[in-house]
Amino acid sequence: MTAVFENEVVTEAKVRFLTHPGLAGEIALITLDNGHDHTRPSTFGPGGLASLDAALDEVAAHTPAPAAVAVTGKPFIFAVGADLSGVPSVTDEAAAREIAETGHRVFRRLKDSAIPTFAFVNGVALGGGLELALHCHYRTISGGAAVAFPEAFLGLVPGWGGTQLLPNLIGIDPAVTVVVENALAQNKMTPGPKAAQLGIADALFEPADFLERSLEWAVGVLDGSVTVQRPEVDRSAWDAAIERARAIVAGRTRNASPGAVRSVDLLDLARNGVDGEAFTAGTAAEDDALTELLMSDPLRASLYSFDLVNKRAKRPAGAPDKSLARKVTKVGVVGAGLMASQLAMLFVRQLTVPVVLTDIDQARVDKGVAYVHGELDELAQRGRLDQDKLNQLKGLVTGSLSKDVFADADLVIEAVFEEMSVKQQVFAELEAIVSPECVLATNTSALSVTEMASKLEHPQRVVGLHFFNPVAVLPLLEVVRAEQTDDAALATAFAVGRSLRKSCVLVADAPAFVVNRLLTRFLGEITAAVADGTPVAVADRALDPLGLPMTPFELLTLVGPPVALHVAERMHEAYPDRFSVGEGLRKMVELGKSSVYSEPGVVDPDLAGIDAGGSPSTEEQVRARAEEALAQEIRLMLDEGVVQAVQDIDLCMILGAGWPFWLGGISAHLDRTGVSERVTGSRFLPRGVASLPA
C-alpha cells in the first residue's frame, strides 16, 4: 500500500493460536492493539490495515490450518474505525481510492474465508471497527460494549462494507436507524444488549469473562452444539425504509449533508444482497463515495469540528488551574420553575450532593421538587437507576421557602426572572447568608454578570453559568467571567461544569455572550427581511443549503418569542446600530403566539401583514444578508475579546446551536464561501484548516 498517514499510531494485529477443550484444532485469535498508546482507541490507517493483512497471511500459512479465526480488541476497545487524524495527509484522489479499496480487500478476507471467522466485540466498535466485525461469519458482543456508524454525522459514509452488510443482516429499517437516524442524532450509540437484540451480534456476554465465554460459544458453533439462527431479511420493506431515511436526512440536514445523502443511496443499493457480484458492486459504489468524500471540503470541515469537540472542549482555553477549584458538597438553586428544576435535576444526578430549591411560595417549591422526583422516577423505569440509587437521589433534593437553607452551600445558582433588579436583590439576600467561600452563579442568557454583582461586598465570587435548554441534552456551558470574578470562583465553575459532563467555554461578560448574541443577530436579519416584504416561507427556507437543524422560524418557536424578544431588546440597548427589535416579534408576544405558523406552511392569520414591506428579497439575498451579519459580528466579538479565539465561537455554535459538523463551525463556512474576506477583509482560519489545502 503506497498511501501513508503522517504520524499514524499503528494498530497492530497480533496472532495467537489457542487450543480449547473439546475442539480438534486451534483457534487463531487476532487481537487489535495500538501498543504503547493506551489513551487512544485502536484505529485503522494504512499501517493498521497492512498489519491486519499480514496477520491474516500468518493465519493462512499456519500448519495445520486453524479450525477458526477470531478477532478481538484491547481491553474495552474493539476498534473505532478509520484513523481520521491521518485524513489531512490524503491530498490526491488516487490515495483516497487506495484507502477505500484496501479496507474492502482486507476486511473481505474474513467474509470470504473458507475457515469460520468470529468477531468478539469486547468494547466500543465504531465505523470501520463495526464493519470489520460485520465481515466475520459470527459475532459475540460484551454487555459493556457499544456500536455505531458515525460517518453520516461526520460528512462521510460507512465505506468499508457497512452500508451493504448491515441491512442484509438485521433488515433495512433498523439499518436506517443505525446508519442514518442515530448518526444524525449527535452520533447516538447502540449499547451491546440492544445490538444483540437487533441481530448485529449473535450472542451477548458480560464483560467480566467475555473472552472466555466467547471462546466457549465459538467452540459450540464449530462442534454443532450451538445453532445460530438469523431471520430472513424482508426485502419488501426496502422502499418504505429508504423513504423514511430520505425524510430523516431532509428533516435534519435539508439534504445539505453529502455524507448522509450518499449513505441513503448506498443503503438503497444494498437491496441486491451481499452475495458474489452484488456485494462487489455495492462495495465498488462505497469506494466511489468514499473517494469523493475524502477529497471534499465537508470532510475536512467535519474533522475540524471533531477536533474542537474532542480536544479543545476537554482543555478549555483560558481556564484557571484546576487546583484552585473549591469542593462543592451542596448546591442551592434559587427559583423552582422549569429551567431551575432542570438545573436541580442535573446537579443531583451528576454530583450526587444535596440540592435545595427555593421560590416565593410553597406551590412553586413543591412543583419544582416534584419535577425532579418525576424525572428520577422515569430514569428508574428505563433501567438507568436501581431502587437504592433512586431513593438516595430523591432524598438529596429538597425545597424551602427560606434562603437560610443555603448557609452551608458551596455553590448557589439563580434562575429567576430576567430582570436586573430582581437578580441583584437575590444576590444581596444570598450574600447575607452564605459563607465567604460560596460561589454565586447566574444562569442569565443576556444580562451583565458584572452589573449583577456590582453591589455586593464580594463581587469576585460571582460567575456566569449559562446552560442551554434542554439542560440535560445540550452539552455546552458558557462560563462567564465578570470583571471582578476571581480565579478560585472561575476554577470552581469549570470543575463543576466538567463534573456535570458539559463542554465548557470561557467567555467574557459581553451582552448575550456567544451563542445568543449570534443567534439574535441571525434571527434579527431574517425577521428584518420579512418586515421589508420577503414572504415568510422564502425567508424561512433561505438557510436550507447550510443544513441547519432548524429553520429560522422553527428556532424562534423553540426559543420562545418572549425569550427572543427579551434578548433582542437587551442587544438593541447595547448595539442599536446592528440589533433591531422587529414589530412582528413584538406582535407575536403581544398575541401570545409561539409560532408564525398556524399549521405547517401556513402563516397565522393573526400575523398577516408582517411581510407587507415593499422591498422583498430572494432566498439567496436573505442568506447572504444573514451570513454577512454573522461574519461582521464574529469579527467584532474577536476584537472585543469575548472568547480566546475563533475556535471557541465555532465550538459554541456546534455544541449550543447544533451547527452542522460538516460545515466545520460557523467561521469555517464563512471562510469557505468567501463571506469572511468580503465582509471583514480576511479569513478567520488559516487556509487548509477545515478545507482542502489551497
pLDDT tens digits, one per residue of 475-500 = 999 999 999 999 999 999 999 999 99
Whole-angstrom CA distances from 452 to 342, 440, 447, 476, 511 are 23, 11, 8, 23, 13
Domains belonging to the chain, first-starting first, are 12-295 (3.90.226.10), 322-504 (3.40.50.720), 515-641 (1.10.1040.50)
Residue in the structure block whose three cell numbers are 479565539: 645
**Whether pLDDT at 628 is above 60:** yes
Q: Which of these, 119, 423, 399, 300, lies nearest to 689 by C-alpha position?
A: 300
Position of cell 465465554? Answer: 213
**What percentage of the chain carries pLDDT values higher than 90?**
83
pLDDT value for 689: 84
pLDDT in tens, 228-275: 999 999 999 999 999 999 999 999 999 999 999 999 999 999 999 999
Rounded distance between C-alpha atoms, residue 102 and residue 4, angstroms: 12
In the prediction, which pLDDT does 137 show? 98
Q: Is the pLDDT of residue 569 over 70?
A: yes
CA max distance for the chain: 86
Helices and strands of the chain, counted as H and E runs: 28, 20
Share of the chain above pLDDT 70, in %: 98
What pLDDT is recorded for position 582?
87
Residue in 15, 107, 29, 109 with CA at minimum distance from that of residue 69: 29
Find where cell 436501581 sits. Answer: 386
Tell me the mean pLDDT in the region 382-406: 94
Angle at alpha carbon of residue 289, lines to 134 and 672, rounded to 5°: 125
If phi > 0 it is left, if psi is from -120 to 50 it is alpha, else beta; for residue 127 that is left
Mean pLDDT of 497-513: 96
Reduce the DSSP state of residue 686 to 3 states and report it: coil
Each residue's pLDDT tens digit, 312-362: 999 999 999 999 999 999 999 999 999 999 999 999 999 999 999 999 999
Among candidates 471, 492, 469, which has minimal Cα distance to 479?
Answer: 492
The answer, yes or no, to whether residue 82 has pLDDT greater than 90, is: no
> What is the per-residue burial (b if ≥16 Cβ within 10 Å, else e) of 274-312?
beeebbeebbebbbbbbbbbbbbbbbbbbbbbbbbbeeb
- Average the pLDDT over 605-612 and give the result: 90
C-alpha cell at 296: 471534499
Query: At a CB cut-off of 8 Å and minimum separation 6, what does 144 contact?
Result: 76, 123, 192, 206, 207
- Given a cut of 90, whether residue 175 has pLDDT beyond it is yes
Residue-level pLDDT at 577? 94
Contacts of 535 (CB under 8 A, 6+ apart): 611, 616
Query: Positive or negative, the Cα torsion across 663, 80, 56, 201?
Result: negative
- Per residue in 17-30, pLDDT tens? 999 988 989 999 99
In the chain, what is the straight-line distance between the N-terminal and C-terminal CA atoms, in Å? 26
Judging by DSSP bridges, how do beta strands 77-79 and 503-508 pair with one another? unpaired
Provide φ and ψ at 445, rounded to 5°. -100, -10
At 42, the amino acid letter reads S
Average pLDDT along the chain: 94
Residue range 643-661, pLDDT digits in tens: 999 999 999 999 999 888 8
Amino acid 37: pLDDT: 62
User: Is residue 658 within 8 Å of 550, Cβ to Cβ?
Assistant: yes
Residues 6+ apart with CB under 8 A from 47: 5, 8, 10, 11
Query: Is pLDDT at 46 greater than 70 in this prediction?
Result: yes
Give the pLDDT confidence score for residue 92 in this predicted structure.
86
pLDDT at site 4? 64
CA distances from 94 to 8, 83, 88, 167, 288 (A): 19, 18, 14, 29, 11
pLDDT of residue 345: 97
- Give the residues across from 504 on adjacent strands: 477
Q: How far is 478 from 490, CA to CA, in rounded Å?
A: 12
DSSP helix/strand/coil, 663: helix
Confidence band for 473, pLDDT divided at 50, 70 and 90: confident
> What is the Cα–Cα distance from 88 to 473, expressed in whole angstroms?
32
Q: Alpha-carbon distance 577 to 448, whole Å?
A: 19
**CB count in 10 Å sphere of residue 15:** 17
Residues 463-477, mean pLDDT to the nearest whole number: 92
Q: Which residues contact 145 (CB under 8 A, 6 or more apart)?
A: 78, 121, 122, 123, 124, 125, 191, 192, 195
Asked if the peptide bond before residue 231 counts as cis, ω within 30 degrees of 0, the response is: no
Q: How high is the pLDDT of residue 128?
A: 96
C-beta separation of 477 from 466 below 8 A: yes
Closest CA to 555 of 527, 583, 582, 530: 527
3-state DSSP percent of the chain in helix, strand and coil, to 5: 50, 15, 35
CB atoms inside a 10 Å sphere around CB 111: 16
Angle of helix 646-657 relative to helix 619-640, nearest 10 degrees? 130
Confidence of residue 601 (pLDDT cuts 50, 70, 90): confident
Lookup: cell for 135: 465481515
Sign of the CA dihedral running 497, 39, 384, 306: positive
Task: Give per-residue pLDDT as tens, 90-109.
Answer: 888 998 999 999 999 999 99
Summarised one tens digit per residue, pLDDT across range 437-459 is 999 999 998 899 999 999 999 99
pTM of the model: 0.90
Query: In degrees to the nearest 10, what's the CA dihedral of 556, 559, 562, 563?
Result: -130
CB 191 within 8 A of CB 146: yes
Q: Which residue has the cell 418569542?
A: 561
pLDDT at residue 36, rounded to an integer: 64
pLDDT(1) > 70: no
Residues whose CB falls within 8 Å of the CB of residue 54, separated by 6 or more in sequence, listed in order:
13
pLDDT band at 694 (very low <50, low <70, confident <90, very high): low
| Distance separating alpha carbons of residues 329 and 516, to the nearest angstrom | 31
Residue 520 confidence (pLDDT) above 60: yes
Residues 569 and 442: their CA atoms lie apart, in Å, by 20
Cβ-contact 254, 238 below 8 angstroms: no
Query: What CA–CA distance (Å, rounded) separates 623 from 336?
Result: 40
